[in-house]
Amino acid sequence: MDSVVPTLPPPSNLSSYIVSFLNDNLHTRETLTLAPNLVSQLQSNCSDLDQSIIDLNRSLGATLVAYASFSDQIHGLLSDINGQLIDLGSFTRSHGYVEPDGESGEGKGRTEKILGEELPALAKEVARVETVRLYAETALKLDSLIGDIEDAVSSTMTKNLKKYYATQDSEDTRLRAIKTLKLTEDILTSVTKRQPQWGRLVSAVDHRVDRALAILRPQAIADHRALLASLGWPPSLSSLTSAAPNKAKILNPLFTMQGDLKHQYCENFFALCSLQELQRRRKSRQLEGYSREVAIYQPLWVIEELVNPMFLASQRHLSNWVEKPEFIFALVYKMTRDYVDSMDELLQPLVDEAMLSGYSCREEWISANVSSLSTYLAKEIFPKYDAQVDEENDMDTQSQARTSWLHLIDLMISFDKQIKSLLEHSGVSFSFQEDESMQKISSFSVFSDRPDWLDLWAKIELGEILNKLKNDCEDEKNWTIKVQGANLSSNPEDYNAPPITSAFIRHLSAIINRCRSLPKKSLRSTFLRSAGAPILIKFLDCLLFRCQEAEGLTALTNDEALIKVATSINAARKLESVLREWCEDLFFLELGSIQGDQAEENESGKGLIEDLENGIFDVETEKLEAFRMEWVEKLYVVILRGFDALCRDYMKNKRQWQEKSEEGWTVSKSLVGALDYLQGKMSVLEVNLNRKDFIGVWRSLASGIDRMIFNGILLSSVKFYDGGVERFGSDLEVLFGVFRSWCMRPEGFFPKLSEGFKVLKMSEKQLKNDFVGSEKWLEDNRIRHLSVVEVDRIMKNRVFGS
């Protein structure tokens, strides 16, 4: 009779682990001779495992018996307490009262003792026993659950290698362990909220759960990696690095898996997501009362397991492109883009099923790739570029190193825009304004831990810009205003500024736009203070140098010097207005708040409120304003001084106020030159100075002339006859006419002269009134800018009659 030779089942019925085990131990003909020994070893292992199961069952039975015995004891104690309460009620009813409207002394005393002493003590004892019972039941339940978890973990570790063992059994055991872990966490959460005094029990359970998770999670990740390897992940990068534009040609292993392999991957994926959700719940409970959001968030484990092997496989390409970083960014972006759709279609439903709220597979895939790129840049690219800049080489080599650095920054900005576009076009709601969110999707997060690289970047950017601006500042054409007729620029907001202003604004705007790519407000603030503020200081230095040069050479006496200063004032006004407009934007308001927070950390007490209100460029804006006000004041002081010099003969001639105006003249001859000078200088400023500052100049000038003539003539010892009053009125009318080009009623800007002349024109009868010069008289005659003393002096100088 022929013996029946046992055969193995078809390979399709075997799990991947068994197939791998057989391949490892029976891979050649020589190893087949060792098969009997292998069988004996497996049988011995199975016997040991069977014995372990028998021992665990016995331990479980003993635990259940102990629990039943303890429960019976508690039940007996509660029954006795219940009986005592019944007896107490009967005793109270039989001895508590004698009559409805009266009590015996003994019964009353007994009732008070029972109600005041025995009953509260009994209630306290009942509560204590109930608490003990609840604690015992909770501890036993938790012990039972932890035992189940540890058994499941032990089972997944030992990997039952019987003939009909299947990987599915291991996954089922792991999922049961996760389910039990979640039940345990529910109980611990309830205990933490309702019984916070049971902290030692919670701590003991957490310790055992941590030990179980320390085994369960690495094993689940190891199985997940084995499954990914069997799927063919990471895919070949040849299709990624090829020039084929057809994205459909890229073979995605996640879409091609089928049958049991797909089921196993999904089960393992779900188990990892469930473990991460459990871990997040436990941290949320343990960090109650602290900054939980920062500590609880972790990247999605399953996505990291997809990104890490792919990025490791790509590093052999990346290492060849250190001098050509554009290829690095192109490859990483292509990897990110080509597989991002599978994250939404295949993996997101599994994450949602695991109740892992707040996670988007698409976002996690993108952020994981960006994070890997940032790590690679920090380790391999930036150190080399940094070393090239620091090397003591010739100027050409240094210039090439700085150019390479700026080229790398340009590539990072372009890459981040592409990544942001991937997210925005997916319909995913993503808050790009939050620092934490920005950092996850920005390659510039490399600067978060390296402020020295940020300072070097700012230094390089500033150096390049100042070199360009140096040539622009030296070209006199850039300081020339193209004036159209007698009007200012067609756009009032241009402030008649020279072209050099636009050059500075353009470069400053470029710096601001580049810093927007930085993921944190503190980094943007630091960068702008290092690279942006010096540009403004350089601009202010150029303006100050030109104005001081004009003042030193000509004392601002000729028209060319006035035009030079006016041009500088226009430039300062234009840049100041642009900075104030920018600082109202939310971007600059946030940077200003960061600067205020830093000031609050660095200082204590003094000046905190002011610092908190400062914007990012407030210091430079205030310096521009101070410069502009200083030189506007110098302009009208110079013109007023020249007018005063030409008016000296006019003001010293006291006899002219006793005579009428000369025949054919509407103004005094000695005043003509001063008025001509005034009109000429103001015409130059009207054409060349911006409208706002020009208004300030002529108003200040009018106020100065008003005080000068009033004090020099009306308050002097000069005597005014009727002809002199008429002559003085004609002079004032011509003086006011010079300023009538810029306002409708110039008299309002000469208040002392106008009211002083009003007093001079009054009749003798009006001035002989007893109340003349009193406060009431001033009020009745609407004289508001002259004092009683000044009116009295003018009246004494008035002479009536021929």
Given pLDDT bands bounded at 50, 70 and 90, which one contains residue 246? very low
Q: Give the pLDDT of residue 100.
A: 45
**Residue that has been written with the tokens 């960006």 in this structure:** 370
DSSP of 279-346: HHHHHHHHTTTS-HHHHH----HHHHHHHHHHHHHHHHHHGGGTT-HHHHHHHHHHHHHHTHHHIIII
The angle, 0 to 180 degrees and rounded to 10, between the axes of the packed helices 788-797 and 751-760 is 50
Q: CB within 8 A of 571, min separation 6: which ones?
A: 497, 498, 500, 501, 539, 543
Given pLDDT bands bounded at 50, 70 and 90, which one contains residue 512? very high
Q: CB within 8 A of 494, min separation 6: which ones?
A: 488, 574
Q: Give the pLDDT of residue 690.
A: 93
**Environment class of 465 (CB within 10 Å of its CB; exposed 0-12, middle 13-18, buried 19+):** buried
Q: Range with the lowest mean pLDDT among 125-139, 187-201, 549-563?
A: 125-139
Q: CB within 8 A of 198, min separation 6: which ones?
A: 135, 138, 191
| Tens-digit pLDDT profile for residues 31-68 | 777 777 777 777 777 877 777 777 777 777 777 677 66
229 close to 308: Cβ distance less than 8 angstroms = no
Q: Range with the lowest mean pLDDT among 203-212, 468-477, 607-616, 741-750?
A: 607-616
Higher pLDDT, 674 or 601: 674
- Residue 444: strand, helix, or coil: helix
**Environment class of 647 (CB within 10 Å of its CB; exposed 0-12, middle 13-18, buried 19+):** buried
Highest mean pLDDT pick, 24-38, 343-357, 397-411, 566-580: 566-580
As a three-state string, the secondary structure of 663-682 is CCCCCCHHHHHHHHHHHHHH
- Residue 782: pLDDT over 80: yes
The CATH code that applies to domain 653-797 is 1.20.58
- Residue 616: pLDDT over 90: no
- Residue 363: pLDDT over 60: yes
The pTM (predicted TM-score) of the whole model is 0.76
Higher pLDDT, 389 or 487: 389
Q: Give the pLDDT of residue 445.
A: 93
Which one-letter amino acid corresponds to residue 293? E
- Residue 621: pLDDT over 90: yes
| Tens-digit pLDDT profile for residues 60-83 | 777 767 766 666 677 677 677 766
Highest mean pLDDT pick, 25-29, 289-293, 671-675: 671-675
Q: Give the pLDDT of residue 451.
A: 94
Mean pLDDT across 146-161 = 74
Q: Cα 409 from chain centroid?
A: 20
Q: Give the pLDDT of residue 302.
A: 92
Long-range contacts of 458-463 (CB under 8 A, 24+ apart): 458/526, 458/527, 458/530, 458/531, 459/530, 459/531, 460/389, 460/402, 460/405, 460/406, 461/406, 461/511, 461/514, 461/531, 462/530, 462/531, 462/534, 462/535, 463/402
Given pLDDT bands bounded at 50, 70 and 90, which one contains residue 199? confident
Q: Give the pLDDT of residue 636.
A: 93
Given pLDDT bands bounded at 50, 70 and 90, which one contains residue 113? low
- Residue 186: pLDDT over 60: yes
Mean pLDDT across 630-645 = 95
Q: Give the pLDDT of residue 304.
A: 93
- Residue 428: pLDDT over 60: no
Highest mean pLDDT pick, 211-215, 328-332, 487-491, 590-594: 328-332
- Residue 160: pLDDT over 70: no
| Tens-digit pLDDT profile for residues 263-302 | 888 888 989 999 999 998 898 888 876 655 545 678 899 9
Give the chain's mean pLDDT: 82
Round to whole Å and give the CA distance between 36 and 42: 10
Given pLDDT bands bounded at 50, 70 and 90, which one contains residue 542? very high
Q: Give the pLDDT of residue 708.
A: 95
Q: Give the pLDDT of residue 21.
A: 72
Helices (H), 475-602: 499-515, 521-531, 533-554, 559-582, 586-602
Mean pLDDT across 460-481 = 91
Higher pLDDT, 367 or 163: 367
- Residue 175: pLDDT over 90: no
Mean pLDDT across 614-624 = 88
- What are the structure tokens assigned to 729, written together? 């009125």
Mean pLDDT across 596-618 = 53
Domain extents in the chain: 14-82, 366-482+494-597+614-626, 653-797
Given pLDDT bands bounded at 50, 70 and 90, which one contains residue 332? very high
Q: Range with the lowest mean pLDDT among 154-168, 306-320, 365-379?
A: 154-168
Q: Give the pLDDT of residue 701.
A: 96
**Environment class of 312 (CB within 10 Å of its CB; exposed 0-12, middle 13-18, buried 19+):** exposed
Given pLDDT bands bounded at 50, 70 and 90, which one contains residue 488? very low
- Residue 104: pLDDT over 70: no
Given pLDDT bands bounded at 50, 70 and 90, which one contains residue 485? very low
Mean pLDDT across 524-531 = 94
CA dihedral 66, 70, 76, 82 (to 10 degrees): -150
From the list 577, 493, 505, 489, the residue with the least C-alpha distance to 539 is 505
Furthest-apart CA pair in the chain: how many Å? 167
Higher pLDDT, 123 or 435: 123
- Residue 777: pLDDT over 60: yes
